[in-house]
């Protein structure tokens, strides 16, 4: 740390020291937390243990992630502590970094000591992760300062960082498959990923998630589940013949576990043999090959927009996917069985 601080500006050196203090504080508070108040969260093929200074995220974690009571037999390799006490403000630290350029410089400096961090100036919230120690801490000014998406995509940066340590890259994509073949659905929000995924589950296909997925690099690509819930707006639920009783999120979408409505849960993983870009509004469902560059651009930039970090891993994984796998456009009609039939044709063609 001293050698690193010597090569930094005074502001960057202060930040590096603060991060070290924040991690030490978080570890101390995590150890003080009773075991009954901790929860184990599965992230692909690894897991982390979560504790909070007050119980705010537990219901969201239980709904959206693969979680359960903390094990008394096996301790996960990673831990995360969420602190809502404004400790980082009361400690006298004032964040001088309010511009993207400064944040990028900060991340570059922290990378030299192997620490990952995301700072949100508007909420004065920090997510900090030390991969070597296997520990992360969130510092937040009260529960009311949580971003609106946190309730349906909790702790996404920590899930991403922990997945990377387990050899997986988190991407903004859905997955649909069978035991023998599968595809990634690629597109920005509103492209039809969630509706197509839910419709495929209704017709008996599998999915490892409708929004985020963890990718194991090739040659045998697989998509691993991170979220066990799915999202869909009321009109989409009505089109699929499903109930809209679940409470709506900030996007006006119902968030629920698919097994509660259709009897099919999210699968732990599915193969990935092709990349598919869905597009709604067609009179009749069909698919056809498209340029790999178009898929690469959409998948890469939608993932970076959602996650905001680890650009190198995202670019490398997306590049490997489009170099290795066929790419298709899937034009979706209003008829779910027709859409799933075309999707099944794709799955059979890439087996």
The tens-digit pLDDT sequence of the chain (351 residues) is 444 444 555 555 677 788 889 999 999 999 999 999 999 999 999 999 999 999 999 999 999 999 999 988 899 999 999 999 988 887 666 554 444 455 566 667 777 777 888 888 778 888 999 999 999 999 999 988 888 888 889 999 999 999 999 999 999 999 999 999 999 999 887 778 999 999 999 999 999 999 999 999 878 899 999 999 999 998 889 889 887 777 788 888 899 999 999 988 999 999 999 999 999 989 999 999 999 999 999 999 999 888 766 788 999 999 999 999 999 999 999 999 999 999 999 999 998
Could you tell me if 61 and 50 are in contact, meaning their C-beta atoms sit under 8 angstroms apart?
yes
CA-closest candidate to residue 325, choices 128, 125, 185, 138: 185
What are the φ and ψ backbone dihedral angles of 193, each rounded to 5 degrees? -60, -50
> Could you tell me the two tokens for 101?
């350029």
* CB neighbour list of residue 68: distance below 8 Å, 6 or more residues apart: 39, 40
Q: What is the CATH code for 168-349?
A: 3.40.50
SS (H, E, C) 45-80: CEEEEEEECCCCCHHHHHHHEEEEECCCCCCCCEEE
- How far apart are alpha carbons 206 and 120 in whole angstroms? 36
Q: What is the pLDDT of residue 107?
A: 67
Cα pseudo-dihedral 99, 106, 19, 43, rounded to 10: 90
CA-closest candidate to residue 340, choices 241, 273, 240: 240
Cα pseudo-dihedral 144, 146, 152, 155, rounded to 10: -140
Give tens-digit pLDDT for 81-131: 999 998 888 766 655 444 445 556 666 777 777 788 888 877 888 899 999
SS (H, E, C) 207-268: CCCCCEEEEECCCCCEEECCECCEEECHHHHHHCCCCCCCCECCCCCEEECHHHCCCCCCCC
3-state DSSP assignment of residue 86: coil
Summarize the chain as % helix, strand, coil (round to 5): 40, 25, 35
Cis, peptide link before residue 52, omega less than 30° from 0? no
Domain residues of the chain, as ranges? Answer: 2-165, 168-349
CA 31 to chain centre: 26
């Amino acid at each position: 740390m001293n050698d690193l601080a010597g090569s930094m500006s005074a502001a960057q050196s202060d930040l590096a020291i603060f991060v070290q203090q924040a991690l030490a504080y978080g570890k101390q508070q995590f150890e003080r937390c009773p075991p009954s108040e901790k929860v184990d969260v599965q992230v692909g093929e690894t897991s982390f243990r979560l504790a909070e200074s007050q119980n705010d995220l537990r219901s969201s974690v239980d709904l959206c992630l693969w979680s359960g009571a903390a094990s008394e037999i096996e301790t996960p390799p990673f831990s995360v502590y969420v602190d809502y006490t404004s400790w980082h403000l009361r400690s006298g630290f004032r964040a001088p970094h309010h511009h993207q350029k400064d944040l990028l410089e900060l991340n570059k400096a922290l990378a030299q000591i192997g620490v990952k961090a995301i700072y949100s100036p508007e909420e004065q919230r920090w997510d900090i992760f030390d991969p070597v120690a296997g520990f992360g801490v969130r510092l937040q000014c009260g529960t009311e300062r949580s971003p609106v998406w946190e309730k349906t995509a909790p702790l996404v940066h920590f899930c991403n960082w922990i997945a990377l340590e387990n050899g997986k890259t988190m991407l903004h994509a859905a997955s649909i498959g069978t035991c023998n073949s599968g595809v990634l659905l690629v597109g920005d929000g509103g492209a039809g990923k969630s509706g197509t995924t839910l419709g495929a589950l209704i017709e008996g296909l599998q999915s490892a998630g409708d929004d985020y997925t963890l990718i194991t690099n090739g040659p045998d690509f697989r998509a691993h589940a991170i979220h066990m819930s799915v999202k869909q707006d009321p009109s989409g639920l009505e089109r699929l013949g499903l109930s809209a009783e679940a409470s709506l999120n900030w996007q006006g979408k119902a968030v629920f576990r698919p097994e509660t409505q259709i009897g099919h849960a999210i699968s732990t993983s599915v193969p990935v043999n092709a990349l598919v870009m869905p597009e709604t509004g067609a009179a009749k469902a069909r698919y056809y090959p498209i340029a790999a560059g178009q898929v690469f651009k959409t998948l890469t930039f939608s993932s970076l927009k959602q996650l905001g970090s680890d650009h190198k891993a995202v670019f490398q994984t997306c590049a490997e996917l489009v170099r290795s796998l066929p790419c298709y456009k899937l034009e979706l009609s209003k008829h779910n069985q027709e859409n799933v039939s075309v999707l099944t044709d794709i799955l059979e063609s890439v087996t």
